[in-house]
């Protein structure tokens, strides 16, 4: 059975990046039935032709809210929804494999793909290098058939069975960049069906700089958001503690000689503000709007 399939792309401040992705999606072995762009206003939209219908929804700059606006537009119309970051390059068979996986496994709620090269850990990747990496991987012909169960899924690289969503929505208290909103949402979906990662569904994450939030704000979210989700009951304790500790340690160590593309000192300052709030019993992820 072929599922109707929508792609939702939350985006802001990266028109050229988005334009390349929209053109690239035209190379999919199964074209999306619709691509929904969720952003703030028309100035964020590129002027490109596509091989599939494109619709838009506008509203506040907040990833959780943008995800929700796209979701509301798609629910009741499509069997599956794929969320993509605007700087993710999916393999040409990405949508076909993701849709087929859910169609063949009715107990699966979310399918996450495998990012074979992530610029978030190695530094920003050029479009040409990302495409070449995917083409090389496809040319080798080897497909990994394994299935890995996950606690949650990456928001910019996941496909969801809409029938299992119900009244579940992304938490808009996680303001602006909404860090860890994907774990919050998919952990709850995991109570309704399996969350799996399939290495056969490949992509490259360019980690394009720009269009994101400030270092100090992001640093605050690195501590406040996991604590908030831990108290909410949607993030396991060990996962939250390791996540916070890893980020604080990285910001302390690398603030001595920061990377050019990362505001480590700003992130560390944000970490410290959040820790101060935690000591006072204050955990408000939306506080970043006041920074």
- Report the distance separating Cα 210 and Cα 117, nearest Å: 19
- The arithmetic mean of pLDDT across residues 93-122, rounded, is 96
Long-range pairs of 229-238 with CB within 8 A, sequence gap ≥ 24: 229/180, 229/183, 229/184, 231/283, 232/171, 232/184, 234/183, 234/184, 234/187, 234/188, 235/180, 235/183, 235/184, 235/187, 236/151
Would you say residue 202 has pLDDT above 90?
yes
- Report the distance separating Cα 260 and Cα 25, nearest Å: 31
Cβ atoms 265, 258 nearer than 8 A: yes
CATH class, domain 5-205, is alpha beta
Would you say residue 211 has pLDDT above 70?
no
Would you say residue 27 has pLDDT above 60?
yes
How far from chain centre, in Å, is Cα 171? 14
pLDDT at residue number 22 = 98
How far from chain centre, in Å, is Cα 236? 19
Residue boundaries of the structural domains of the chain: 5-205, 215-290
Percentage with pLDDT > 90 across the chain: 90
pLDDT at residue number 283 = 86
- Report the distance separating Cα 83 and Cα 160, nearest Å: 8
- The arithmetic mean of pLDDT across residues 186-193, rounded, is 97
pLDDT at residue number 234 = 96
Percentage with pLDDT > 70 across the chain: 98
- The arithmetic mean of pLDDT across residues 111-138, rounded, is 94
Instruction: Count Cβ neighbours within 10 Å for each residue of 132-149 and write b for 16 or more, e otherwise.
Output: ebbeebeeeeeeeeeeee
Cβ neighbour number for residue 8 with a 10 Å cutoff: 25
pTM of the predicted protein model: 0.95
Q: Which of 215, 227, 195, 231 is nearest to 291 (CA)?
A: 215
pLDDT at residue number 93 = 97
Q: Kindly indicate the confidence band of residue 17, based on its pLDDT and cuts at 50, 70 and 90.
A: very high
pLDDT at residue number 212 = 58
- The arithmetic mean of pLDDT across residues 169-183, rounded, is 96
Q: Kindly indicate the confidence band of residue 214, based on its pLDDT and cuts at 50, 70 and 90.
A: confident
- The arithmetic mean of pLDDT across residues 10-22, rounded, is 96
- Report the distance separating Cα 269 and Cα 95, nearest Å: 40
Quick: pLDDT tens for 242-289. Answer: 999 999 999 999 999 988 878 999 999 999 999 999 999 998 999 999
Would you say residue 114 has pLDDT above 90?
yes
Q: Which of 99, 92, 22, 98 is nearest to 56 (CA)?
A: 22
Q: Kindly indicate the confidence band of residue 67, based on its pLDDT and cuts at 50, 70 and 90.
A: very high
């Amino acid at each position: 059975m072929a599922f109707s399939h929508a792609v939702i792309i939350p985006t802001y401040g990266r028109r050229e990046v988005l334009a390349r992705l929209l053109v690239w999606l035209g190379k999919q072995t199964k074209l999306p039935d619709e691509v929904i762009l969720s952003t703030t206003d028309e100035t964020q939209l590129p002027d490109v032709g596509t091989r599939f219908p494109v619709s838009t929804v506008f509203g506040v700059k907040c990833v959780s809210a943008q995800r929700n606006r796209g979701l509301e537009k798609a629910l009741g119309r499509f069997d599956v929804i794929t969320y993509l970051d605007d700087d993710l390059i999916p393999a040409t068979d990405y949508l076909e494999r993701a849709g087929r996986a859910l169609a063949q496994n009715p107990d699966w709620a979310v399918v996450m793909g495998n990012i074979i090269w992530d610029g978030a850990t190695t530094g920003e990747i050029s479009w040409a290098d990302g495409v070449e990496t995917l083409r090389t991987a496809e040319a080798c012909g080897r497909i990994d058939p394994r299935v890995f169960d996950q606690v949650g899924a990456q928001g910019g690289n996941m496909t969801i069975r809409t029938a299992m969503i119900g009244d579940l929505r992304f938490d808009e208290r996680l303001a602006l960049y909404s860090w860890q909103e994907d774990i919050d949402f998919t952990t709850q979906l995991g109570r309704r069906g399996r969350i799996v990662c399939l290495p056969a569904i490949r992509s490259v994450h360019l980690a394009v700089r720009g269009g994101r939030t400030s270092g100090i704000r992001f640093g605050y979210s690195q501590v406040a958001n996991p604590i908030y989700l831990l108290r909410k009951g949607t993030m396991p304790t060990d996962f939250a503690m390791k996540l916070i500790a890893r980020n604080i340690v990285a910001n302390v160590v690398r603030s001595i000689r920061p990377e050019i593309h990362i505001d480590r000192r700003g992130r560390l300052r944000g970490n410290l503000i959040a820790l101060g709030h935690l000591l006072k019993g204050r955990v408000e992820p939306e506080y970043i709007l006041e920074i």
